[in-house]
Amino acid sequence: MTYAIAEAARRSGLSIDTLRYYERIQLIDPPARDSGGRRVYTDEDLGWLGFLTKLRTTGMPIRMMREYARLRHQGDTTATRRKQILIEQRAEVLDRIVELNACLDVLNYKIVNYEQCERDLNEKAPVEASA
């Protein structure tokens, strides 16, 4: 299948501007063009965009994403370095998960504390006398 840029943007969850930016900084190959000169994206392109989106979500800097993309074009001889980039990013993600879990613990503690405060306030509220 092939997709016009608007459909590729919709399917990838990226904006048209982001797709053009990724092309400009060489994160993605220039897509094929149709007879009218409009960009045409393939399922393979969308798969690569999905992977790039995951890398970005992990917090990988654009600089490292560009290195990974460059290495990808050089073929299997760069597999070791690409694997190393992913191992390093995985370590950063795991560190971030630990940090986020610590933040979650604090939030949970505070929520439980406020729930107890609400219960205490409700127990102390004056009961209206019935007529």
**Domain coordinates in residue numbering, the chain:** 1-57, 62-124
Is the pTM of the predicted complex or chain greater than 0.75? Answer: yes
* CATH number given to 1-57: 1.10.1660.10
Mean pLDDT for the chain?
A: 95
The DSSP line for 23-38 is: HHTTSSPPPEE-TTS-
CA distance 94 to 76: 27
Position 129 pLDDT exceeds 70 = no
- Predicted confidence at residue 63, as pLDDT, reads 97
